[in-house]
Chains A and B, each alone.
Chain A
């Protein structure tokens, strides 16, 4: 009897201690969330605040010491560099193209294909926005498409909400796969392990994003009208993304899928049912072929860099890497010795983007599409747009690495695993969504929560590939409700300070699609 009482008290005390530790481990994440959502702080400011909270919590409750923190920060920088390489190069390419007026020319070119409102919504808000996500990302799709839709006669709220919903499916493999790169970097898995499930779940959301982008404007009636187009284009985009992702060309996943979608969308726009209204007769100085030429170059460069073994080997000769010794926290948590994330200097996705940018620049220059001093403007715009995002990523990665090195993420994972047990797959995409909502980035969400999801999956005996796919899918969907991105879109259509109605419009679709992904993940985890 006495033994039983002592035993139950011990169990209850241990549970209480675990709960306190869990709350302490959660504190940096909560700090970032609260500051971003309620304090309207930027990702970089909130990330820096989260770094201080993580350092304090790690020191007080998890036995962190200076050397351990030192190694964690260097590993964080190596991880960040892998992601920043792609981000800077993707933005550079975007500005190389945009400076010629090519993005505007692509928009004008598309307008000439159909006057049907549902087709315009699909081509601009779903396909073209995804194409822009494929080549740039970081709010560019909403910022570019929203004013184009206003110009076509849509209300500002619809003009921002449509691309916000429409492009979300392509976020993970968009931006030349920066978010997927982050997922691989933090989990330590390669693309062949992670890509199939990620492309499957994201493929499913391709259709849902198309359906709901149309629903925002015209409700169920317009969905009925545009269903054949959504099915044809959705199958093309989801299928292309899957093939590219699983064949190792994940850097081109979002871009290639949306380019294929653009071709099939423009073909579908010629169908009789979508040609009842006359199309625009606007002409652009630059033809659609020339406008897209930098992206055709990109396809050739990336295909060669990824699929031609001799080129791949040649480019992969120089790698930046550092080795780290085994380190133990004051509480006995051991981080094994090993190499940090290596950077393939000349064969990295970012390097391939840079080659394509330089070739594209020379082609455009030879054709006389640039004004004098264009390169200076391109570099200045790239730096201006990349620095805030980069700061956010570095601060978030650095605090995530402190948490990882002090058992904090493991404790969080264990708590979630205990609480949800076999139903964890249902929650998994919501965690990804939360991360993207609070940081405004699928990449940041994967960095902050990737290891947590991986460890929780392993503790619960679930497929890590499936759970990480749910994480990144939730993170991608978070883009449609992330205040950071909504703010960018609203600022381009004169809705600054009136973001509420747009967020209200996107929120219900974001939550609904995430809920569906959760149920599908749960079903897959037990029946697939």
Chain B
């Protein structure tokens, strides 16, 4: 898994950037109109993206 992340770090950085810019939009919509579970789920997704960045950034 870690070897895969290191091997594809270049593409994954771009993916992480796109996710970091997109997830907060859904998070914003969930905070306005959605449920608490949706908000927590999306926050978890941002957390996962940050973890990915900590590995490949």
> Which residues of A come within 8 Å of B, CB atoms?
42-45, 47-49, 51-52, 55, 66-67, 69-71, 73-74, 76-77, 80-81, 322, 325, 383-384, 387-388, 390-392, 394-395, 398
Contacts and interface: CB of A to CB of B under 8 A. Distances in A.
A76 B21 CA distance: 9
Contacts of A45: 53-55, 57
A205 B50 CA distance: 37
Contacts, number: 82
A392 B27 CA distance: 21
A42 B53 CA distance: 10
10 contacts: A44-B53, A48-B51, A51-B50, A70-B30, A70-B43, A73-B28, A387-B13, A387-B14, A391-B17, A391-B57
Interface of B: 10, 13-14, 16-17, 20-21, 23-25, 27-28, 30-32, 36, 39-40, 42-43, 46-47, 50-51, 53-55, 57
B33 to A, nearest CB: 12
Given A77-B21, A80-B21, 17 more contacts: A42-B57, A44-B13, A44-B57, A48-B50, A48-B53, A48-B54, A48-B57, A52-B47, A67-B31, A70-B39, A73-B28, A74-B28, A76-B24, A81-B21, A388-B57, A395-B50, A395-B57
Contacts of B16: 391
A77 B13 contact: no
A71 B31 contact: yes
Contacts of B47: 52, 55
Contacts of A52: 47, 50
The CB with the most chain B CB atoms within 10 A, among A47, A74, A390, is that of A74
Contacts of B30: 70
Nearest to B28: A74
Contacts of B28: 70-71, 73-74, 322
A395 B23 CA distance: 13
Given A44-B53, A48-B50, A322-B28, A391 B20 contact: yes
Contacts of A67: 31, 39
Nearest to B50: A48
Contacts of A51: 50
Contact of A383 (B14, B27, B55): B14
Given A48-B50, A69-B43, A388 B21 contact: no
A395 B19 CA distance: 12
A324 to B, nearest CB: 8
A394 B20 contact: yes
A395 B53 contact: yes
A95 to B, nearest CB: 17
Contact of B13 (A49, A55, A391, A398): A391
B57 A66 contact: no
Nearest to A73: B24
B20 A398 contact: yes
A48 B57 CA distance: 9
A55 B16 CA distance: 19
A77 B36 contact: no
Contacts of A69: 43
Contacts of A325: 32
Contacts of B40: 66
Contacts of A70: 24, 27-28, 30-31, 39, 42-43
